[in-house]
Chains A and B, each alone.
Chain A
Amino acid sequence: MRDGFRSAILERARLDPSFHVLTGDHGYALFDEFALHYPDRFHNAGVAEANLVGLAAGMARNGITPLIYGLSAFIPNRVFEFIKLQIAVENLPVTMVGDGAGLVYSTLGISHQTLEDLAIIGSLESVHSIAPGSASEMESAIHWAGVSRAPTYIRMGKSGGTYQESSPSMEPSPHLVRDAQIAGNKKAIIAHGSMVSTALELAKQIPELFDVWSCPTISPMPSSFIAELSSRYSQVVVIEEHGAHGGLGSRILFELANSITAVHLIGSVLEQDRTTGSWEWALHIHGLSQERILQRLRAIGFLS
């Protein structure tokens, strides 16, 4: 995983002269090669994560394309509000890498365990979030963040907890990594990060047959993937080194909720409108006034 990261940031720097890497005083030895090749484009901003996010936003507004690196316990967890106001709302091309995600630093205790980072960052619609499970998925995540120029959170998990891919892709989209190749198979495990490797190991050890998907893209979730899951499987299990709420499983359920009749989700419809007004006015604009809720209930056929 870390080798994939090292080579990917070198490649991005080669392709984009405005690409700079900033760390919040983490990543010992991880950036040696990058700093050797690009000494003027590698910076240690110190143990000050809020400032790190603010700096990156300012740099992105003034001609530099930054990647900021820290532990996921701090980026995004510690600095959510800075990410929301200075990067996400403004759609700035900042790549945020949170290392040690999940239980990687389990021995250090609760301060460094991160089982909610995807839930936190997933609440920001404009931020893409990617959780690679292999070195090549990491490379494609770093590459894709540069191509899309969207604010992007890349979740880096256990260095050794990866699987070997047969055919790397330049886009971190969901893909089948084990095809049970049996007629009528209706079961699949979907995973990201270290759990892809775990699912593949399980598949080797037990007789039951099921497909395994790697789904590094948590957000935005491709609608074609949801459609494929719905049409192909009767039973799907999502395994992730993350809390059950707010991670990949929640994202898939959220998308599925819109394709089945039993459950519909009604929340704010607004992401981009920046006008302001009274609370009653804002509820209406966000689709949450009585009148708008009634319209929405009729639109989904809940009311006639």
Chain B
Amino acid sequence: MIPSASAIRRRILEMSFFGQSVHVPSAFSIVEIVRVLHDKYLRYPENDPNSKSRDFFVLSKGHGVMALYPILESRGWISSDDVKNYFQDGSSLPGLSEAITPGCEVNSGSLGHGLSVAAGLAWAAKLTDTDQRVFCLIGDGELNEGSIWEALMFAGFHGLGNFAVIIDQNGFQAMGETSDILAVADLSGALESFGFKVRTVDGHSEQEIEESLHTEGQVSSGKPLAVIARTTKGKGVSFIENENRWHYTRLDQSTFHSALKELEPKA
């Protein structure tokens, strides 16, 4: 059973507070996306994260990995002790996503890597005629990386219909708003020009995300899919939402409990 979005956010707060890690807002913005992927799409035969016939989920924005760990915990692939020890000495869970963790396919602490590897996974599936799908989640700040555009061009040109890229468009990157730093004026048009079928959704609506990832017909042929997920950085906690200083700020006792309170299940 995949935890609810608010349960995942509470777990993220615990990891961040006890480990004194940062990147909480980056994880909060993708919670619904990774939930839908694990709950509705990703096929892991016999719940085996290493199954040869599994679908692949590549979290290319590796600094959002705290959103994924509670799901991997619920699947039994990592232990509660692993999660509790996050960001502490001897932790088996890297601070940023690494392939060493079951359910994490790529070392993606360095931005701009995951999409190329994901395209390779999808291409291999196409060449060997499997029905595997490959989903890759990237950040809108990550679009600054040139290698992203190399991979997009390749996936579009080669018609990787089994490939879906989801862009977490929270509007921020490390130092500020993407619109002030480096952004594509017409992202949807750019992705279409690279050969993608493009859909834009509310990135916190699980229903919209689920519907956007449907494919018609054979996945191994046709256009790859790009889903622009409009999200809120820090979604779920009022004083963290759209406050970019929280990209680097650690929780203290007061902010930890205030944040938890906002995420308590409604009566």
Contact of A277 among B56, B90, B127, B128 (CB under 8 A): B90
| Nearest chain B CB to A208 CB, angstrom units | 52
A275 touches B90 (CB 8 A): yes
Report the bound CA distance from A20 to B146 in whole Å.
Answer: 26
Chain A interface helix/strand/loop/mixed:
helix
A228 at the interface (CB under 8 A from B): no
Known: A50-B116, A61-B121. A55 touches B154 (CB 8 A): yes
B89 touches A45 (CB 8 A): no
| Nearest chain B CB to A273 CB, angstrom units | 10
Chain B interface size, under 10 / 10 to 19 / 20 to 34 / 35 or more: 35 or more
B120 touches A274 (CB 8 A): no
Contact of A62 among B87, B93, B120 (CB under 8 A): B120
B124 touches A50 (CB 8 A): no
B106 at the interface (CB under 8 A from A): yes
User: Which one of A85-93, A163-171, A294-302 contacts B?
Assistant: A85-93
B107 touches A90 (CB 8 A): yes
B95 at the interface (CB under 8 A from A): yes
Known: A274-B98, A277-B88. A58 touches B113 (CB 8 A): no
Residues of chain A within 8 A (CB-CB) of B125 are 62
Q: What string of 1s and 0s marks CB contacts (under 8 Å) between A48-67 and chain B?
A: 10110111111111111000
Residues of chain B within 8 A (CB-CB) of A51 are 116, 119, 147, 150-151, 154
Contact of A63 among B90, B94, B124 (CB under 8 A): B124
A278 touches B89 (CB 8 A): yes
| Nearest chain B CB to A261 CB, angstrom units | 36
B122 at the interface (CB under 8 A from A): yes
Report the bound CA distance from A40 to B112 in whole Å.
Answer: 28
Report the bound CA distance from A48 to B122 in whole Å.
Answer: 18
| Nearest chain B CB to A162 CB, angstrom units | 33
B120 touches A59 (CB 8 A): yes
Report the bound CA distance from A207 to B37 in whole Å.
Answer: 74
A81 at the interface (CB under 8 A from B): yes
| Nearest chain B CB to A220 CB, angstrom units | 23
Q: Closest residue of chain A to B89, judged by CB?
A: A277
Contact of A58 among B91, B98, B110, B124 (CB under 8 A): B124
Residues of chain B within 8 A (CB-CB) of A54 are 113, 115-117, 119-120, 147, 151
Report the bound CA distance from A147 to B89 in whole Å.
Answer: 38
Report the bound CA distance from A276 to B87 in whole Å.
Answer: 7
Known: A55-B119, A276-B94. A62 touches B146 (CB 8 A): no
Contact of B92 among A50, A53, A64, A275 (CB under 8 A): A275
Could you say which of A40, A51, A278 has the most chain B C-beta atoms within 10 Å of its C-beta? A51
Residues of chain B within 8 A (CB-CB) of A274 are 92, 94, 98, 100
B142 at the interface (CB under 8 A from A): no
Report the bound CA distance from A281 to B88 in whole Å.
Answer: 10
A61 touches B127 (CB 8 A): no
Known: A54-B119, A278-B89. A40 touches B147 (CB 8 A): no
Report the bound CA distance from A53 to B154 in whole Å.
Answer: 13
Report the bound CA distance from A283 to B132 in whole Å.
Answer: 42
Q: Closest residue of chain A to B152, judged by CB?
A: A51
B71 at the interface (CB under 8 A from A): no
| Nearest chain A CB to B122 CB, angstrom units | 7
A58 touches B122 (CB 8 A): yes
| Nearest chain A CB to B234 CB, angstrom units | 24
| Nearest chain A CB to B39 CB, angstrom units | 23
Contact of A55 among B88, B99, B123 (CB under 8 A): B123
A46 at the interface (CB under 8 A from B): yes
Residues of chain A within 8 A (CB-CB) of B36 are none
B91 touches A275 (CB 8 A): yes
A82 at the interface (CB under 8 A from B): yes
Contact of B153 among A48, A61, A64 (CB under 8 A): A48
Binding site for B on A (CB under 8 A): 20, 40, 45-46, 48, 50-51, 53-64, 81-82, 85-86, 89-90, 274-278, 281
Listed by A's residue number, 20 A-B pairs whose Cβ atoms lie within 8 Å are A40-B127, A46-B153, A48-B150, A51-B116, A51-B151, A54-B151, A58-B117, A61-B120, A62-B56, A62-B121, A64-B127, A82-B116, A85-B107, A85-B109, A86-B113, A89-B107, A274-B100, A275-B91, A276-B95, A277-B91
Q: A55-B154, A58-B123 are in contact. List 9 more A-B contacts (CB 8 A).
A: A46-B150, A51-B119, A51-B154, A54-B119, A62-B124, A63-B124, A64-B127, A276-B93, A281-B89
